[in-house]
Every structure is written in structure tokens, then in C-alpha cells.
Amino acid sequence: MRVNLQALVGKKIRRLRLECGFTIEELAFRAQLHPNYLGDIERGKRNPALANLKKIAEGLKKPLTELISDKSAESVVNPAREKPAGYFLPAQDKNILSLIKSLHRNSEKDREYVIRLAKSISVRLKNS
């Protein structure tokens, strides 16, 4: 039987992301990757470069080896339990990515503050 390594790594990333309680958008922000790209990786449709796997591992605060180890690889996340995606409109992408790049130069404490603020705004928008 042929093993699809892309799919295994993607499932592992999704499982770790959900264990951390992150949405795709939040992990993408932390890893400085586009949410669509990260979603494709999780679904096994993209073969990420090692540099991008390292960014994802850092965003998850996990060692890179944990993303590629096959321990618990057989545990598949139920997509129905995942938080619904809220992707940006294409016109907003350029501004969002610019903001993400500028925030990456700030301290971890500042980035955590911005993430908390963004979550708070998101909750208020959903409730209004």
C-alpha cells in the first residue's frame, strides 16, 4: 500500500492546530502563510517546503519533528468539529498580508495582543 505523505503531514498539522484551539486563519497569521495555502496543506493537496513546515511548527509552538513524525498519524480529525472558515475577500488579501508581515517584526507579546484583539473584534462582529 502506497502512503501519501502529504496527506499524513496535513492531517497531523490539522490535529495539532485543533488541539491548540487555532482556526486556520490564526495559524496562518502566526506562520505568515495564506489561509488557503495552509488549508491545502491540511487537506494533502499541497506539498509544503521545509521552510513553510518550520513556520507552521513555530506557529504551533511545536518542534518541526512533531509535524513529520508518524506517531498518532492514524488519528484523523473529524472536519465537522472544525471551526468554520472565514476567509477574506480577494481585495482584502493584500492589506491583510501586509499587516501580517509588518506584525511579524514585532515581539511575540505584541503579536499575542493583536491576536487577542482580533478574536475579540471577530466575536463582536459575529454577535452583531
Average pLDDT of the residues in 71-97? 52
Digit-coded pLDDT (tens) for 4-55: 888 999 999 999 999 988 999 999 999 999 999 999 999 999 999 999 999 9
Q: What average pLDDT does the chain have?
A: 78
DSSP letter at 62 equals: S
Question: Would you place residue 113 in the very low, low, confident or very high pLDDT band (cuts 50, 70, 90)?
Answer: confident
The model carries a pTM of 0.58
Phi, psi of 105 (to 5 degrees): -75, -10
Question: How many other β-carbons are positioned within 10 Å of the β-carbon of residue 116?
Answer: 10
Question: Is the pLDDT confidence value at 82 over 80?
Answer: no
The pLDDT-based confidence of 115 (bands split at 50, 70, 90) is confident
Asked whether the beta carbons of 87 and 36 are under 8 A apart, the reply is yes
Instruction: Count Cα neighbours of 23 within 13 Å in the Cβ-side half-sphere.
Output: 16
- Homologous superfamily (CATH) for 1-70: lambda repressor-like DNA-binding domains (1.10.260.40)
Q: Give 73's pLDDT tier (boundaries 50, 70, 90).
A: very low
Q: Which residue has the higher pLDDT, 21 or 107?
A: 21
| Cα(21)–Cα(30) distance, integer angstroms | 13
Domain boundaries, the chain: 1-70, 88-128
Q: How many residues does the chain have?
A: 128
**What does the block give as the cell for 89?**
475577500
